[in-house]
Structure 1
Amino acid sequence: MVAYKSKMVERIRLPSRAQRERNLERAGYNAFNLDSEEVFVDLLTDSGTGAMSDSQWAALIRGDEAYAGSRSFEELESAVRDVMGFSHVVPTHQGRGAENVLYGTLLSAGDVVINNTHFDTTRAHIANQDADPVDCPVDGAHDPEMDAPFKGNFSLEGARAVVDDVGAENVPMIISTITNNSTAGQPVSVENTRRVREFADEIDATFVIDACRFAENAYFVTEREDEFADATVAEVAREQLGYADALVMSGKKDGLVNAGGFVATDDETLFERCKQRTILYEGFPTYGGMAGRDVAAMAVGLREAVEEAYVADRVDQIQALAEMLEEVGVPVYTPPGGHAVYLDAGAMFPHLSPNEFPGQVLVCELYREGGVRGVELGSFAFPETDRPELVRLAVPRRTYHKEHFEHVVETAATVLEKRETVSGLEITSEPEVPELRHFTAELEPISS
């Protein structure tokens, strides 16, 4: 059941095929380099691209723009305390700002950080501190066809092996990302989170939850974890997050806003250290790089994110898109996650090797055939890691409707029909930081 109605619209248009061909070539066959007006259905990311509610727009107008002691900051503090259970908040301009503040505070050169699966900016921020990010996904996490309720879980067995190898004294921080974006948006169980908490205590490590999609994760827990069958999304969210020492949060996901993020903790000492780093990199600790109106809108968005009707509609929309794609034969990572449908480009283009970047090829073909923009999360985005060749179709919150998804499905089906005719890509230029190359690198078709 749809939980909202439209009060504002934006006109979009589909460029001609000839225009799309020219746009791809100009963009260096990298969808990040396309202009938004050149895209018909934009599924590049769900980060900051959603539609805000009327209550959030009202909060924008009421926002307090005071440099220090803003009323809007007090509203955010209250929302984080009520929804997430943490007493101290350090706002930042977005999630990667929160990563910089927290990880720059906690990490030193030579440290090892264990995560269920690091996402791109997380991996890059850890590497930027001269620390080593190590993934510990559970068995089957990289199997697009395996059906399991919590494929996003953190592998305790893998983590223990890492600690045995490097020594507990070299692992100051453990991260659990919920939902697990790099593992196709798969959820993490509360029981797994409890066990990670216990493990962090054993090795005296700080336990951090990357809470970008905490509400979507909580919804899956209510659907799949028997202990919480009668719990609300809000109740699950508070319990699961409560096992962490600190959170990093991109408000552009389950904060339902277009800008903003924060660090949250109950640790007074850590809070004070993060505040000082925030002043250096983000702004005064009561605005953290955001306008007061954005802080106010995020305070409202956090409360809306755990409303049952909203989050159920959100997840149902993703599942409906996945089912429509499967019906026309497009290989999809299963079960679908909470914010995106992940296409299996390796299965779609079995004639292309990882060195030919089948995922990036699929991104380009989706745009070529229908003006649909997705993002590659395989060998192009994550070089030298053992991950499936996936393309993420991330759905902006409260933005697209059934007709848009029908166009996406029709486009993907057309690509599938022509799959044997496509060729691979090769990189022509890339940045020095390998963890971030997919944002700006340029490619070209491989000559036959």
Structure 2
Amino acid sequence: MRYTSKMAGSVRVPPRDERRVRLEEAGYNLFNVPSAAVAVDLLTDSGTGTMSDEQWAAMFEGDEAYAGSESFAELERSVEAVMGIEHVVPTHQGRGAENVLYGTLVDEGDVVPNNTHFDTTRAHVVENGGRPVDCPADGAFDPRSDGDFLGNFDLDCARRVVDDVGAERVPVVVVTITNNSAAGQPVSVANLREVRAFADEIDATFVVDACRFAENAQFVQQREREFADASVAEIAHEQLSDADAVVMSGKKDGLVNVGGFVGVADESLLEAVEQRAILYEGFLTYGGMAGRDLAAFAVGLREAVQEPYVQARVDQVRELADTVEDAGLPVYRPVGGHAIYVDAGAAYDHIPDDQFPGQSLAVELYREGAVRGVELGSFAFPETERPEFVRLALPRRTYHREHIDYVGETAAAVAARSAEAPGYTVVDEPPMKELRHFSARLEPV
């Protein structure tokens, strides 16, 4: 798919001296760098994409009613058509949905298995007194692994959890599609069905974190034989059909800049979710979003499962991976659907893990070319066994070939001077370590 640009923004590459000062002022944490000082922003694909003309047109007709908004009714219809979910509880974004759902399901002392918890999911489980346990597929964190569905949920791991704590302490089982923390790897429909059966065995609520459901469906179409002749839209519907509840950030595969929801199939759960949503997010027909945002979200969901769009999306991520790898930085393979994951542990093997080689690589990409990525290793996930990854996440429908070439040029310069990069130490961090990477400050060792 090709796009025409109907609006453009300017990009400035700040001089090297300014980049140095920006890093010092930010405490070497790229979340603290202002976007005006970033040339190519690959920090996240969440809410950073470009909306279509159809979405902008829908915004002009947004119904801003506090109660009974027609724009919410449009979103409900889209969610049911695209995802097969009947009951929709809107929230301002994905972490709002996590707060609503996990605050309802998780109590003190509970254990929550997930194929791999991402940062805010992990934090919401901890905040409610639970213990998050990662159950990734074998080889998911090995940059040299090979497999079609390395994002899968490891049922043997989950059964060990149940044997250890008892089924009554495992009230919810979560599968994240695609598996963001495991290099954006996809999850098979067969695995989702197996997890559904396991949840039934232990009488647990089965939750799918569906932020990147369309990208996952595209991988299923290409790699899972049962679905070789199915459309992305059909697969998107099927892969969510067994879930009791769905957490959705519209800022990913909803193709909007704000918004999310909890989707509920289990009606016994619905009332509790709705009451908590009213308390934290707003009334049930707006959930922290303006009517115009609801309207754009309704259109974006339908666009996300269009074959030309999702194929172009995945192809561009592969293009970025090839470019960065050709520049000399090692990239996790196979490539996922929304981002590439650079193996900073291999690129900076002179820096020990406790000095955060991933953070060092992220800093050097900014220092060299004002390219902003994010560390997803031991700095972002303390006290967990994660590889030293740097994620470069592509916003949807935003960047073009020249931006990818520029990232490649930056990566080549960084790779050429890899031996000169220092490690880092944390000098200030918030009490909740699960979220420290958003605001902690560091300094070079």
TM range (shorter): over 0.9
Partner of 2:41: 42
Partner of 2:62: 63
Partner of 2:12: 13
2:267 is aligned with 1:268: yes
2:130 is aligned with 1:116: no
Deviation of the 1:8 alpha carbon: 0.8
Partner of 2:441: 442
1:174 aligns to what SS in structure 2?
A: strand
CA–CA separation in structure 2 for the residues paired with 1:227 and 1:275:
36
Task: Give deviations 1:97-149, integer Å, cap 9, x for gaps.
Answer: 00000111111111110000000000000000001100000110010111211
Task: Give deviations 1:242-297, integer Å, cap 9, x for gaps.
Answer: 11100000000000000000000122221111111011000001000000110110
CA–CA separation in structure 2 for the residues paired with 1:245 and 1:445:
47
**Which letter maps to 2:57?**
A
Structure 1 segment 266-415 matched on structure 2, within 5 A: 266-415=265-414
2:208 aligns to what SS in structure 1?
A: strand
Partner of 1:194: 193
**Which letter maps to 2:272?**
R
Partner of 1:416: 415
Deviation of the 1:426 alpha carbon: 0.6
**Which letter maps to 2:314?**
V
Task: Give deviations 1:20-79, integer Å, cap 9, x for gaps.
Answer: 000000000000000000000000000000000001001111000000000001001000
2:349 aligns to what SS in structure 1?
A: coil
Deviation of the 1:427 alpha carbon: 0.6
CA–CA separation in structure 2 for the residues paired with 1:259 and 1:3:
24
Partner of 2:98: 99
TM-score (norm 2): 0.99
CA–CA separation in structure 1 for the residues paired with 2:347 and 2:367:
16
Deviation of the 1:4 alpha carbon: 1.9
Structure 1 segment 156-171 matched on structure 2, within 5 A: 156-171=155-170
**Which letter maps to 1:130?**
G
CA–CA separation in structure 2 for the residues paired with 1:416 and 1:3:
32
> Is the CA contact (8 Å cut-off) linking 2:243 and 2:265 kept in structure 1?
no
**Which letter maps to 2:351?**
L
CA–CA separation in structure 2 for the residues paired with 1:410 and 1:335:
22
1:207 aligns to what SS in structure 2?
A: strand
Deviation of the 1:328 alpha carbon: 2.5
1:247 aligns to what SS in structure 2?
A: strand
Partner of 1:145: 144
**Which letter maps to 1:444?**
E
Partner of 1:243: 242
CA–CA separation in structure 2 for the residues paired with 1:182 and 1:16:
33
2:429 is aligned with 1:426: no
1:241 aligns to what SS in structure 2?
A: coil
CA–CA separation in structure 1 for the residues paired with 2:386 and 2:65:
46
Partner of 2:202: 203
TM-score (norm 1): 0.99
CA–CA separation in structure 1 for the residues paired with 2:229 and 2:411:
38
Which structure 1 segments of 5+ residues have no match?
Answer: none
Deviation of the 1:7 alpha carbon: 1.0
Partner of 1:257: 256
**Which letter maps to 2:55?**
Q
CA-atom RMSD in angstroms? 0.6
1:393 aligns to what SS in structure 2?
A: strand
CA–CA separation in structure 2 for the residues paired with 1:163 and 1:29:
41
CA–CA separation in structure 2 for the residues paired with 1:423 and 1:293:
47
**Which letter maps to 1:86?**
I
Partner of 1:3: 2
CA–CA separation in structure 1 for the residues paired with 2:303 and 2:284:
24
Partner of 1:223: 222
Partner of 1:72: 71
Aligned residues with identical type, % of pairs: 67
2:50 aligns to what SS in structure 1?
A: coil
> Is the CA contact (8 Å cut-off) linking 2:174 and 2:206 kept in structure 1?
yes
**Which letter maps to 2:388?**
E
2:198 aligns to what SS in structure 1?
A: helix
